[in-house]
Structure 1
């Protein structure tokens, strides 16, 4: 069904007969028509308000593990502000905070395989807790049959890794030589990202550069609440990365680098 996040009538048509509404709307880059606040704050509040006005019993609002009103990233700040706005109009909403997800057509493993230079920022030392998209999807599905949770549900991956390790993982699984691209200093990366905004298609943006320097939040997961045991990235890496192997390497065994200590 066609709908516009600024059109309350269309939003109402989409959800007015629902028992539960999931808001998965988000954007990790801005355009001339939609800024982070338009989607994560006012848009999220509008969806929650329409749901409340039409008697929807349950609302599940998907945010991000690193949502924080004090973050240096506008993406993370607006995620946190959106949570507050949602709860102001739909007090019983369940807020779900997944970490960065990996899966088909993701922007993690696939981007590392094609643009490793942008993941070397901060010398690859940034900590990340990647989570399988299938696990998050199952958690969201399980919420449908779980008693209403008026709380925040954090869904980080099972392990805390680094960008450097994931780059080594991608190189090992694909049988390609590790990237020899230099580590770009943050000021230069920001300048390149600002210049890239002249293109009409999405490229790396300044806020994305900022996020490359922010560790994932060190908070406990709430997987027991949703009845899911999250899987490690190594168990699925070949599924999403085999396509980057050369033909001669397709049948070769899967090898993993040593995990960081």
Structure 2
């Protein structure tokens, strides 16, 4: 019963977080490890468990998908799927020790980009014309990261897009949910075929995440942009600090 409450509750919270800002794996991965799942299997199981919630969020946001810096949504989706597949295969074939130590620095960059996005983005756009080719290249790398580990990939997408595009911060959420779900689609298939998923624990987390993703997306559509941005920055800061402690403590 304690594992049931832990994993279902973690899924509910993570699903809502992913719908509004991202970072849900920061809740589900420790919960799965606390329930006795080995870390590599916990990483794969977390991705699979959060997939239905992300898909539910994408459905809620389905009318709000917009091109990013002129890059068509179809091309963005294709490079994200390809990157997610490559990242998932890389995770299955290589050890994660080096990447675990690099991850906090990636999160720190993403957090700084989020914090300085509006001012830095305006200055960058005045000196650099970020056309569709640049956006697609960056998106392919983000898809690769999403398939390999996925922690805060939604935050990183928002951070990168906010620098390259002058769109409202909240307006980027629909595209974020679609692209994260695309990267995870490839990863979920790979992990399931490789037998890397602990299905009992995954189903408990996934059930909570499905409901949390739908409710979180509904709330995210109604919250002011400033509130969504503040919550995203708070999550990003906390996640960055926690991963530094995890990697270097």
Fold shared per TM-score above 0.5: no
Larger Rg: 1
Larger proportion of helix:
2
In the superposition, the TM-score normalised over structure 2's length comes to 0.26
In the superposition, the TM-score normalised over structure 1's length comes to 0.25
Q: Does 1 or 2 have the higher relative contact order (CA < 8 Å, sep 6+)?
A: 2
